[in-house]
């Protein structure tokens, strides 16, 4: 077992004392970096990049060479499971992910492949193993997945959606079919995350990107319940360390109390939720991750620094905060503004951890 030189991120997720607030960014390996764009072009396509362990490792490490992040996140995509199930994932330039097939009937559900993560998504595990080797204990590696509800939205709609008409119609008019699909996905996701931990992931994040599109009751029935089911099946330790789980529901600020009881060690919040209010709601149950508006990175470095200070003060003293954006970084951001962001967190946060 390689000794972890920087465990600040893992300690904060477990609400243990740290010297400063740890930081990483959702989509930190991405199109805002010119070196990422060059590697993406070398790979030929996005999925070819995901499936090439050496190139996936390269883009995972690129932001760590520029910025002193406290964690790396596996470079992959949330839609790898639906692709393995046989729906045929592809990407249209400027249009986002698409599927050749959809799941809109019992027959469609029955036609899905039976998958085992280590075999059918082995390229992801190869990437995890390669990244862990190359990180050599410098920072922890985060594995991740999409939530069952989020995966189902793409599988039923066949693409991104603005109104989720088809998937919501299934949920409200054919609840048995929707629960059957979500149950299948929960089992696949649990297997997938367990395989990532076996391969070397040291923390896990469940991206519930579209949970916030549901009503309060529907969120609990179709999203939160299945994330709880997944978390209950995950290993709590690996290599003698806890493996913390982060749940991030975009637009889920109104359900923080319920999310805090789902079994995860941390809850990600988007920029629409005040972090001080969130902390008062969750108390000592979970750590919080977030939550600067990604668009703030288009502001001046001084304005970015001010916003970082506001969020740090909003959370207040003590551990249990992982600084992040409230969603993924966007492609047009100047990399120098990310430097200002990371530097601000490093310089301003120690005062909140002084004993």
* Angle ∠(327,331,334) on CA atoms, nearest 5: 100
Lowest mean pLDDT among 108-117, 156-165, 272-281, 336-345: 156-165
Q: Rounded distance, CA 140 to CA 162, Å?
A: 35
Read off the pLDDT of each residue in 95-116 and give the average, rounded to a whole number. Answer: 94
Q: Rounded distance, CA 221 to CA 225, Å?
A: 6
- Sheet with 321-325, strands from edge to edge, namely 72-73, 141-146, 203-208, 245-249, 266-268, 287-292, 321-325
Contact between 251 and 205 (Cβ < 8 Å): no
pLDDT at 3: 86
Read off the pLDDT of each residue in 35-48 and give the average, rounded to a whole number. Answer: 94
Residue 91: pLDDT band by 50, 70, 90 thresholds? Answer: confident
Residue entry with tokens 């120690």: 350
Q: Is residue 207 helix, strand or coil?
A: strand
- Report the Cα 331 to chain-centroid distance in Å: 17
Domain 8-352: which topology? Answer: TIM Barrel (3.20.20)
Annotated active-site residue in 7, 70, 77, 191 = 77
% of the chain beyond a pLDDT of 70: 99
Q: Mutual orientation of helices 275-282 and 301-315 as an angle, nearest 10°?
A: 20
Read off the pLDDT of each residue in 162-172 and give the average, rounded to a whole number. Answer: 95
Residue 2: pLDDT band by 50, 70, 90 thresholds? Answer: confident
Annotated active-site residue in 32, 36, 67, 154 = 154
Reference 50, options 138, 144, 167; nearest CA is 144
Residue 1: pLDDT band by 50, 70, 90 thresholds? Answer: low
pLDDT at 96: 82
Q: Rounded distance, CA 135 to CA 61, Å?
A: 8
Is a pLDDT exceeding 60 seen at residue 344?
yes
Positive or negative, the Cα torsion across 72, 291, 245, 115? negative
Tens digit of each residue's pLDDT (9 = 90 or more) over 59-74: 999 999 999 999 999 9
Q: Is 30 annotated as a binding-site member?
A: yes
Contact between 326 and 25 (Cβ < 8 Å): no
Q: Is 102 annotated as a binding-site member?
A: no
Q: Is 172 annotated as a binding-site member?
A: no
Q: Provide the mean pLDDT of the chain.
A: 96
- Report the Cα 352 to chain-centroid distance in Å: 26
Q: Is 212 annotated as a binding-site member?
A: no
Q: Is 29 annotated as a binding-site member?
A: yes
Read off the pLDDT of each residue in 315-343 and give the average, rounded to a whole number. Answer: 97
Annotated active-site residue in 27, 129, 220, 303 = 27
Domain limits, the chain: 8-352
Q: Whole-model pTM?
A: 0.97
Is a pLDDT exceeding 90 seen at residue 354?
no
Annotated active-site residue in 40, 104, 279, 305 = 40
Is a pLDDT exceeding 70 seen at residue 189?
yes
Lowest mean pLDDT among 40-44, 107-111, 296-300: 40-44
Residue 201: pLDDT band by 50, 70, 90 thresholds? Answer: very high
Read off the pLDDT of each residue in 328-338 and give the average, rounded to a whole number. Answer: 97
Read off the pLDDT of each residue in 311-328 and give the average, rounded to a whole number. Answer: 98
Residue 161: pLDDT band by 50, 70, 90 thresholds? Answer: confident
Residue 160: pLDDT band by 50, 70, 90 thresholds? Answer: confident
Note if 154 is an active site residue: yes
Q: Is 77 annotated as a binding-site member?
A: yes
Tens digit of each residue's pLDDT (9 = 90 or more) over 251-269: 999 999 999 999 999 999 9
């Amino acid at each position: 077992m390689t000794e972890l030189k920087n465990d600040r991120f893992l300690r904060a997720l477990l609400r243990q004392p740290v010297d400063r607030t740890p930081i990483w960014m959702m989509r930190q390996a991405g199109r805002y970096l010119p070196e990422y764009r060059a590697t993406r072009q070398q790979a030929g396509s996005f999925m070819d990049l995901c499936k090439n362990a050496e190139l996936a490792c390269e883009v995972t490490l690129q932001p760590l060479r520029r910025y002193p992040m406290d964690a790396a996140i596996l470079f992959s995509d949330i839609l790898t499971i639906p692709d393995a199930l046989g729906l045929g994932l592809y990407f249209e330039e400027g249009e986002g992910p698409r599927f050749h097939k959809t799941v809109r009937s019992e027959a469609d559900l029955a036609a899905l492949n039976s998958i085992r993560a280590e075999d059918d998504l082995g390229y992801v595990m190869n990437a995890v193993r390669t990244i862990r080797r190359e990180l050599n204990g410098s920072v922890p590696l985060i594995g991740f997945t999409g939530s069952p509800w989020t995966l189902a939205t793409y599988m039923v709609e066949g693409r991104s959606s603005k109104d989720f008409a088809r998937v919501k119609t299934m949920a409200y008019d054919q609840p048995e079919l929707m629960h059957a699909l979500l149950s299948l996905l929960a089992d696949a996701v649990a297997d997938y995350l367990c395989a990532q931990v076996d391969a070397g992931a040291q923390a896990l994040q469940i991206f519930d990107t579209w949970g916030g599109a549901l009503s309060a009751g529907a969120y609990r029935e179709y999203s939160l319940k299945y994330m709880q089911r997944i978390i209950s099946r995950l290993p709590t330790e690996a290599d003698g360390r806890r493996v913390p789980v982060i749940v991030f529901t975009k637009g889920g600020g109104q359900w923080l109390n319920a999310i805090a009881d789902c079994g995860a060690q941390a809850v990600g919040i988007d920029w629409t939720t005040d972090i001080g209010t969130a902390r008062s709601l969750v108390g000592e149950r979970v750590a919080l991750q977030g939550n600067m508006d990604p668009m703030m990175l288009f502001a001046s470095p001084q304005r970015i620094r001010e916003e970082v200070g506001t969020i740090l003060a909003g959370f207040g003293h003590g551990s249990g905060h992982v600084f992040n954006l409230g969603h993924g970084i966007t492609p047009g951001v100047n990399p120098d503004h990310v430097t200002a962001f990371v530097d601000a967190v490093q310089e301003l946060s120690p005062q909140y951890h002084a004993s």
